Amino acid sequence: MLQIVWFKRDLRVHNHRPLVEAAAAGPVLPLYILEPGLWQQSDMSARHWRVLRPCLEALNADLAALGQGLIVREGEAVPVLAALKARLGPIAIWSHEETGNLWTYGRDRAVLAWCRAEGVIWREIPQTGVVRRLRARTGWAEGWDRRMSEPLVPPPRGLTPLPFAIPSDPLPPVLGVLIGPADGAGEPPGDRAMGLRLLESFAHRRAMRYSKGLSSPLTAPQACSRLSPALALGTLSIAEVVQRLRSAQSLWREADLWQTDPAPPAQRRAAIGGLKGCLSRLAWHCHFIQKLEDQPTIEITCLHPAFEGLRGTDPARVAAWAKGETGIPFIDACMRALVATGWINFRMRAMLCSFAAYQLWQDWRAPAHHLARSFIDYEPGIHYPQVQMQSGTTGINTLRIYNPVKQGLDHDPEGVFLRKWLPELAGVPTPLLHEPWKAETPLLKAAGVRLDSTYPRPIVDPEAAARFARETLWAVRRGGAFRKVAAEVVEKHGSRKGKSAPVRETARWVAPDTRQANLFED
DNA sequence: AGTGCAGTTGACTTT
DNA sequence: TAAAGTCAACTGCAC
């Protein structure tokens, strides 16, 4: 029987169990479905396609080298699979389990229904630490560890070329809503070759800078692993990254046994610590995706209903924020850097979210879509739980309202990052650069700046706006009904109480406890 | 040398 | 992953 290997966000032949098991079962048809419906979703953009397209080409080359190249089919999944079955006879389908957005969740349920109706077997195999139909959080970390420690699976020896000609649809040059520079200049690639280079440079050198460098947008591009696009597209599997970082860690630990070229102790400590920090974030990576796996509606509904409808939906405010024209230099510089390159460090992502939710007092959904379209490494399972957390709609985590001026002074004291992304402010003296609206007009004029024309005046007073948000939200949280619902959520789903709620057929939500608040930093 | 005081720092709590 | 507030300990300095 023909074995269809359905590639989704696992664009590799290394450590790909569905491919290996399918190859053992019969002739393989490697399939990628180009789904028009997906590319119309408001969290998808042309940027994602720009990164994805070369990865499909590389996957095709790898598969062709094994004996059978990738078949691309444009269309929705059920009709595409139905057409293949009608033409080719009985099929079996193999894929990795995917935790995506609500659209891909719905598509998977439609495919499953079709398979059941047609008597087609669809085998889904996990590829991360995420557990489908999780019953209880107890033991989750041990399970993650076990998954990550499983031996890596090499590519199949060879694929039998299919005995019939089967045409592959072309990869369009452009797909999805445009964002950022049309040519994608400044966007790092997400393909496997790049991922492997990044993995090696991180393990050998860059991990030394990780712990100290991840918070500032100036140092983070070099200090962070930068593996997120490869992980989001699955050109690297998370298990192979974890195993490589662990082996690097033991090499650094044993470095004093080496006969030649021992690194200074401080560098070794920094490298070991950096690798440890990165490994712990890889566990958090899966932990977060688990939340969306358990409760897909996190994409569209506030976790605590008391926050529903509380904030505004002002397209002008969201647009100013999305273009980097709020008049708050550090916010605008971060947003412009993100839109230009598709990447910014975690702390600045949190700050951008916080500013939209608190100072601009906007509902989290429109900003979430802009960020998703902008992130070169958009991962739904991390994105939506994070956006809700940073926007203060979980009801579980305390409010974290970032002060963009303080963040700028802490992480870009000399204004190097600000001047790079806001060249129109380059002449403003450093202390005033972070809040130019407080500067005397003649002083700005001397620097070649006029508020409103050269650079916007702030669209909100950041201090007053933050105060309003803090007072309003704490008043909501003090309400009796709020506490009751929050307590119910924790009581029913809290992971550390040792009680497990009954499992629903599709998915269920497991609330984080408060300690899970510190996730990706410090 | 001891005392009083303003300003600073850091740990801890509150929102 | 925050920021502001509180409080006690500490510092530098004038007298």
Assigned token pair, A88: 């080719």
CATH code for the domain in which residue A69 is found: 3.40.50.620
Q: Do residues A77 and A83 make contact, with C-beta atoms less than 8 angstroms apart?
A: no
Q: Do residues A330 and A405 make contact, with C-beta atoms less than 8 angstroms apart?
A: yes
Same-domain status, A319 and A266: no
In a 10 Å sphere around its CB, with 0-12 CB exposed, 13-18 middle and 19+ buried, how is residue A129 labelled? Answer: buried
Residue written as token pair 């935790």 = A99
Burial A64-73 (b: 16+ CB within 10 A, else e): eebbbbbbbb
CA distance A306 to A293: 23
Q: Do residues A93 and A4 make contact, with C-beta atoms less than 8 angstroms apart?
A: yes
Same-domain status, A343 and A492: yes
* Beta-bridge partner residues of A31: A6, A71
Protein footprint of strand B, defined by Cβ closer than 7 Å to any strand atom: A 398-399, 470-471, 474
Does residue A280 lie within 7 Å of nucleic acid chain C, judged by its CB?
no
Which pLDDT does position A406 carry in this prediction? 94
Same-domain status, A335 and A385: yes
- Distance, CA of A507 to C1' of B13, in Å: 38
User: Could you tell me the CA-to-CA distances from A180 to A45, A186, A194, A221 in Å, in that order?
Assistant: 10, 9, 21, 18
Closest nt by CA–C1' to A354: C2
Q: Do residues A90 and A2 make contact, with C-beta atoms less than 8 angstroms apart?
A: yes
CA distance A462 to A502: 45
CA distance A184 to A84: 34
Q: Which nucleotides of C are covered by protein (CB under 7 A)?
A: 1-4
Q: Which residue pairs from A80-86 have beta carbons closer than 8 angstroms and sit at least 24 positions apart in sequence?
A: A80/A31, A80/A33, A81/A4, A81/A111, A81/A114, A81/A120, A82/A114, A82/A118, A84/A4, A84/A29, A84/A31, A85/A118, A85/A120
- Distance, CA of A384 to C1' of B11, in Å: 35
- Distance, CA of A148 to C1' of B2, in Å: 67
Same-domain status, A368 and A511: yes
Does residue A409 lie within 7 Å of nucleic acid chain C, judged by its CB?
no
Query: Residue A204 is which amino acid?
Result: H
Does residue A359 lie within 7 Å of nucleic acid chain C, judged by its CB?
no
Tally of CB atoms within 10 A around A348: 25
CA distance A371 to A386: 11
In a domain? residue A397? yes
- Distance, CA of A462 to C1' of C7, in Å: 29
CA distance A447 to A436: 11
Closest to A348 measured CA to CA, from A385, A402, A392:
A402
- Distance, CA of A385 to C1' of B6, in Å: 48
- Distance, CA of A409 to C1' of B3, in Å: 39
Assigned token pair, A130: 């995420």
Same-domain status, A338 and A271: no
Closest nt by CA–C1' to A520: C1
State how many domains chain A has.
3
In a domain? residue A416? yes
CATH code for the domain in which residue A394 is found: 1.10.579.10
In a domain? residue A512? yes
Closest nt by CA–C1' to A463: C3
Which pLDDT does position A205 carry in this prediction? 95
Q: Which nucleotides of B are covered by protein (CB under 7 A)?
A: 15
Same-domain status, A204 and A243: yes
Same-domain status, A68 and A105: yes
The secondary element (H helix, E strand) that includes residue A145 is helix A140-149
* Beta-bridge partner residues of A95: A124
- Distance, CA of A508 to C1' of C14, in Å: 69
SS (H, E, C) A470-520: HHHHHHHHHCHHHHHHHHHHHHHHCCCCCCCCCCCCCCCCCCCCHHHHCCC
pLDDT digits (tens, 9 = 90+) for A62-80: 999 999 999 999 999 999 9
Closest nt by CA–C1' to A517: C1
pLDDT digits (tens, 9 = 90+) for A286-308: 999 999 999 999 999 999 999 99
CA distance A429 to A210: 30
- Distance, CA of A14 to C1' of B3, in Å: 76
Would the pTM count as exceeding 0.85?
yes
In a domain? residue A136? no
Of A106, A127, A148, which closes a domain? A127
- Distance, CA of A46 to C1' of C10, in Å: 59
Residue-by-residue DSSP string for A14-64: TT-HHHHHHHHHS-EEEEEEE-HHHHTSTT--HHHHHHHHHHHHHHHHHHH
Of A260, A277, A293, which closes a domain? A293
In a domain? residue A148? no
Same-domain status, A454 and A441: yes
Same-domain status, A338 and A421: yes
- Distance, CA of A399 to C1' of C11, in Å: 35
Q: What are the strands, taking DSSP E only, across A158-308?
A: none
Closest nt by CA–C1' to A401: C2
Closest nt by CA–C1' to A347: C1
Does residue A407 lie within 7 Å of nucleic acid chain C, judged by its CB?
yes
Q: Which residues of chain A fall below pLDDT 50?
A: 492-522
- Distance, CA of A407 to C1' of B6, in Å: 29
Which pLDDT does position A259 carry in this prediction? 57
- Distance, CA of A403 to C1' of C10, in Å: 29
Closest nt by CA–C1' to A407: C2
CA distance A446 to A450: 10
In a domain? residue A362? yes
Residues in chain A: 522
3-class secondary structure, A459: coil
Closest nt by CA–C1' to A475: B15
Of A240, A271, A293, which closes a domain? A293
User: Could you tell me the CA-to-CA distances from A380 to A104, A167, A264, A367, A385 in Å, in that order?
Assistant: 10, 32, 41, 14, 9
Closest nt by CA–C1' to A400: C2
Domain interval for residue A77: 2-127
Does residue A88 lie within 7 Å of nucleic acid chain C, judged by its CB?
no
